[in-house]
Structure 1
Amino acid sequence: MKAKNMNKTNFALSLVTAAILSAPSAFAADSDLASAITDGTLSANLNLRYEAVDQDNALKNADALTLRTRINYTTGMFKGFSAAVELENSTSLVDDYNDATGEGAGYSVIADPDHTELDQAYIAYKEGKLTGKLGRQVITMDNHRFVGHVGWRQDRQTFDALTLGYQLNEATKVSYAYLAKRNRIFSDEKDVDAKDHLLNISHKTKAGTITGYAYLLEEDKTGGAEINTLGVRYAGATTIKENKVTYSAEFARQDNDTADKSANYFAVEAGTSIKKINVKVGYELLGSDDGEYGFATPLATLHKFNGWADQFLGTPAQGLQDIYVSVGGKLAGGSWKIVAHDFAADDSTNAIDDLGSEIDVVYAKAINKTFKAGIKYAAYNASDYNDDLVKVDADKLWVWLEAKF
C-alpha cells in the first residue's frame, strides 16, 4: 500500500513539474503567456555553514562544513496562474558527523545530509479573494509551532500538497491544506506519505489576532500515527507609555488515536522594549498523558522552540515545561539575542523531574544587500537529568555566511 501511494504522489508531482517545464513550448503562440513564463524571476540563495557539536557521552565530537545552494524560478502571472520550480543541493565540505540518515555512525548528529532534490514545483492561482497552490511547496502557519519549513536546516521541509486560501473580508482569512507527502529534512530518506488536513481560520481585531485551527494528521501506511490537534491562539500588541508591548496566549488539545492517548498544549508570552533592549518572557507546556505520552508537533519548525541545542525535538513521554527569558537588541549594525531556558517534566517521576537548562546566544549582521553572516551558540546543561543517562550536557556552535541573488 505504501509503495502504491508513493507512486501516486510521485506521478502527480511529475505531472505538475512537467507542466511547468513544458509550458513555454506548448503555449509559445500566446504572447501574453510566453511573456509571463520568460519574464519571470530567477533567484538564488547560498548558505555556507560550519557546525560543531560536543556532547558529554561516548560519541565523537562532530564537525560539519556544508554549502547549501537553492535556485528558484518563478514565472509571471497569466490569467491568475503562475508557477515555480526550485532546485536545492547541499554538499558537505567537512563531514565528520552523523547526518541522521546512516552516514557517520559514531559521531554526534548534525542533520544536514548531502542531497540534491526538487525543493519546490507548483502551480499557483490568485483571483480576487481566492488563492491556491498545487504541487511541492513550502507551507507555514502562524508561528511555525505546528506547521513550519524547518528553515534552519540545510534541507528545509516542504510538502506535496494542495493549499487554498480565502480572504472573507479585511479581518478574516481561511486557509486549508491537504498534504499527500511530508518532505522532511533528511533528503528523501525519511519522507512520509500522508493524508493530512490542515485548517486555519484567523480574525484580526484592534487588540490582536485570534486564530482557530484543526490539524488532522495521518501517516499513510499500516500502523501510521493519527494525531488530531484542535486549538486557539491569540496574539497582539499595544503601546503603554510609548513602549510597545507584545503578548500571546495559546491552548490546544491533542488526541493520538493510534496510541489512544491525549495531551494538552498551553503557551503564554509577553514582551516589551526597555531602553532599546527587547525583553520577552514566556511559558510553554507540552503536556503528558500520565507520563506515557507527550504532546507531539511533527510538522513544526522544532529548532525554533525549546532551545537551539535541539534536545527536545521529540517531547518526552513525561511532557515538557519550558520557562524562558530572552533579551536582545542592536549592536555594530547587527542584532543580538540571549535566551535562557529552564526545563521540567509535566508529569514528573522519581527518575525524571528536572529536565535541565539551556543558554542560547546569537549575533547576525547584514554585510550588504547580498551577504549576511552570523554566529550562534547553544549550551544545554542536563542537570540531574544526567543521572539517568537520558540526556547529557551538549554544546553546539554555528558560524555561517549567506548570500542572496
Structure 2
Amino acid sequence: MRTLQLSKLKLALAAAFLGVTVSQSVFAQSVTEALTTGKAYGDFNLRYESVEQDNTAKDASALTLRTRLGYTSGSVNGFSATIEMEDSRIVMGQGDFTVGPAGYNSGLYSVIADPETTELDQGFIQYKNEKLTAKLGRQVITMDGHRFVGHVGWRQDRQTFDAMSVAYAPVKDLSIKYAYVTQRNRIFAQAADIDSKDHLVNVSYDTSVGKLVGYSYLLEMDNDTENALDTIGLSFTGSAKAGETKILYAVEYAKQSNESATTDYDVDYVKLEAGAVFSGITTKLGYEVLGSDDGLYGFSTPLATLHKFNGWSDQFLSTPAQGLVDTYISLAGKLAGGGWAIAYHGFQADETSLDVDDLGNELNASYVKKFGKNYVAGIKYATYSAGDINVDADKVWVWLGAKF
C-alpha cells in the first residue's frame, strides 16, 4: 500500500512539474511571438522657421530635423510595451535662434523653441481589454482637444508625461480618464523637465446633440513648496444639421484657484463658439476669456498645447496678469488636394487699466497637403500687431514630414 501511495505521489509531482513546464513554455512562446510580431515605426519632420520681432534680439531662423523611432510589441494576455526615442538636430548650421530654458544662445536671438536633444520620448507598459486601457511609464496624454492637457506636438521635442493613466468605458457613450503625473517632460529638453504630483480627471458622455465633459486638473510641482493650481470645469460641444448646412456649437466654463506661499487667487475661463460647414467651407466665430483676478494674476494652462490657441505667433503662452479676451473668426477648406486655413484674432485685456487694454491682433494662414500615404508638406504664416504690451512679430514655417 505504501509503495502504491508513493507511486501516486510521484505521478502527481511529475504531472504538476510537466504542467508548470508546459505553462512556462507556452508563456515564453507567447512573449517571443509578441516581440517578433510587433510594429516598428518612424516619424520624421524637417522644418524651417523664421522669426522677425521689433525688439532688441536678433531675428531668428532655424532648420531642424526631428526623428522619432519607436517599437510597439504584440499583446500577451492584454499586455504590450512601447519604446520610442526622439532626436532633434540643427541642419546645415541653421541654428540662429534662442531657447532660454535649454540654455541655447540665451538672449541673442528671438525664440524658436526647438533645442537639440536626444531622449526617451515614450516608454510604457500597457494593459488593454474591451473597456479598459491602462499605461504605466513615459507616455503621451491629451485631453479636451489639448486646451488644458496636450503633447505640444507642433514643437520638435514634444511634451510627454511620466505617469500612470487609465481610460475606462464602462457603458456605451461614457468615458472616464484618470492620470497621475510624476514628471512633465516639456519641450525644452531634459534640463527643463518638472517633477510634479498632478492628478488629471476627465469624464465625457456622448448625447444625441453633443458631448458633455466634466474635468478636474489638480496640478502641483514637486519642489517642496506650496503651489497648487486647481482647475475644475464643464464643456459641451456638438453639431446639428440645417438642410445642407452643418451647425457647430461649443460652450465651456472653468474655475481655477491657486494657493502658494505668496499668492492666493481665483480666476474664470469662458469659451463660446459657433460655426457652420457649407459648400466644403468650415467657418467659426469664437469668444474665449482667460480671466484675471483684479489685474494681478491670469488664468493659466501650463500643460496645454498652447500653439493651437490664441494665435500661432505664440504671444500669449503665458496669460498676462490682466487676463486675455480672444475674439476670433476662422475659415478652412480644401484646395488642390490639400487643406487651407485662415484665422483672425482680436485681443483685449480682461481687467483693463489706464496702461493695458488693447492686446493687439493677429492674422494666421496655412496650407497643408499630403502626398501618398506617408508624406506631408506645409507652409504657415503668422503676423501679430502689438497693442499695449508685446511687440510686432512675423513668423513663417515651411516643413516636410514622413511617417513609416
- The equivalent position to 2:126 in structure 1, one of 112, 124, 127, is 124
Q: Once superposed, which parts of structure 1, at least 4 consecutive aligned residues long, lie more than 4 Å away?
A: 26-29
Mapped to 2, the partners of 1:27 and 1:394 lie a distance apart of: 64
Are 1:323 and 2:321 an aligned pair? no
Q: How does 1:272-311 map to 2 (within 5 A)?
A: 272-311=276-315
Q: 2:169 maps to which residue?
A: 167
Are 1:345 and 2:312 an aligned pair? no
Q: How does 1:137-148 map to 2 (within 5 A)?
A: 137-148=139-150
Deviation of residue 170 (structure 1)?
0.3
Mapped to 2, the partners of 1:85 and 1:98 lie a distance apart of: 30
Deviation of residue 396 (structure 1)?
0.3
Mapped to 1, the partners of 2:115 and 2:224 lie a distance apart of: 27
Q: What is the identity, as a one-letter code, of the residue corresponding to 1:395? A: D
Mapped to 2, the partners of 1:121 and 1:180 lie a distance apart of: 14
Structure 2's unaligned 5+ residue stretches are: 1-23
For each residue in 1:104-149, what CA deviation from the matched residue of structure 2 results, as whole angstroms up to 9, or x when unmatched?
2310000000000000000000123121000000000021100000
Deviation of residue 247 (structure 1)?
1.1
Q: What is the identity, as a one-letter code, of the residue corresponding to 2:403? A: K
- The equivalent position to 2:65 in structure 1, one of 64, 67, 71, is 67
Q: 1:47 maps to which residue?
A: 45
For each residue in 1:143-184, what CA deviation from the matched residue of structure 2 results, as whole angstroms up to 9, or x when unmatched?
110000000000000000000121121011111000000000
SS of the residue 1:303 aligns to: helix
Deviation of residue 276 (structure 1)?
2.1
Deviation of residue 275 (structure 1)?
2.6
Q: How does 1:49-128 map to 2 (within 5 A)?
A: 49-93=47-91, 94-100=94-100, 101-105=102-106, 106-128=108-130
Structure 1's unaligned 5+ residue stretches are: 1-25
Are 1:335 and 2:339 an aligned pair? yes
Q: What is the identity, as a one-letter code, of the residue corresponding to 2:103? A: G
Q: What is the identity, as a one-letter code, of the residue corresponding to 1:217? A: L
Mapped to 2, the partners of 1:332 and 1:115 lie a distance apart of: 36
Are 1:149 and 2:148 an aligned pair? no
Deviation of residue 224 (structure 1)?
5.4
Q: Conserved in 2, the CA contact under 8 Å of 1:89 and 1:116?
A: yes
Mapped to 1, the partners of 2:143 and 2:115 lie a distance apart of: 26
Percent identity (aligned): 53
Q: What is the identity, as a one-letter code, of the residue corresponding to 1:268? A: L
Q: How does 1:9-28 map to 2 (within 5 A)?
A: none
Q: 1:195 maps to which residue?
A: 197
Q: Conserved in 1, the CA contact under 8 Å of 2:244 and 2:278?
A: no
Q: What is the identity, as a one-letter code, of the residue corresponding to 1:104? A: N
TM-score by length of 2: 0.91
Mapped to 1, the partners of 2:124 and 2:295 lie a distance apart of: 42
Are 1:404 and 2:403 an aligned pair? yes
Deviation of residue 43 (structure 1)?
0.5
SS of the residue 1:266 aligns to: strand
| Greater Cα shift, 363-372 or 62-71 | 363-372
Q: Conserved in 2, the CA contact under 8 Å of 1:27 and 1:34?
A: no
Q: What is the identity, as a one-letter code, of the residue corresponding to 2:179? A: A
SS of the residue 1:397 aligns to: strand
Q: 1:180 maps to which residue?
A: 182
Mapped to 2, the partners of 1:294 and 1:28 lie a distance apart of: 58
Q: 1:36 maps to which residue?
A: 34
Q: 1:3 maps to which residue?
A: none
Mapped to 1, the partners of 2:170 and 2:129 lie a distance apart of: 13
Q: Conserved in 2, the CA contact under 8 Å of 1:199 and 1:213?
A: yes
SS of the residue 2:299 aligns to: coil
| Greater Cα shift, 267-276 or 231-240 | 267-276
SS of the residue 1:189 aligns to: helix
Deviation of residue 245 (structure 1)?
1.4
Q: Conserved in 2, the CA contact under 8 Å of 1:27 and 1:33?
A: no
Q: Conserved in 1, the CA contact under 8 Å of 2:246 and 2:278?
A: no
Q: What is the identity, as a one-letter code, of the residue corresponding to 1:329? A: G
Deviation of residue 70 (structure 1)?
0.1
| Greater Cα shift, 111-120 or 164-173 | 164-173
RMSD over aligned CA atoms reads: 1.3
Change (3 A) 1:262 1:41: same
Deviation of residue 260 (structure 1)?
0.5
SS of the residue 1:169 aligns to: coil
For each residue in 1:85-115, what CA deviation from the matched residue of structure 2 results, as whole angstroms up to 9, or x when unmatched?
0000000121000023221231000000000
Q: 1:23 maps to which residue?
A: none
SS of the residue 2:33 aligns to: helix
Mapped to 2, the partners of 1:377 and 1:166 lie a distance apart of: 40
For each residue in 1:37-68, what CA deviation from the matched residue of structure 2 results, as whole angstroms up to 9, or x when unmatched?
11101100000000000001111000000000
Aligned length: 375
- The equivalent position to 2:231 in structure 1, one of 229, 249, 267, is 229
Mapped to 2, the partners of 1:276 and 1:65 lie a distance apart of: 34
| Greater Cα shift, 43-52 or 126-135 | 126-135
Mapped to 1, the partners of 2:25 and 2:257 lie a distance apart of: 49
Change (3 A) 1:370 1:224: farther
Q: Conserved in 1, the CA contact under 8 Å of 2:226 and 2:259?
A: no
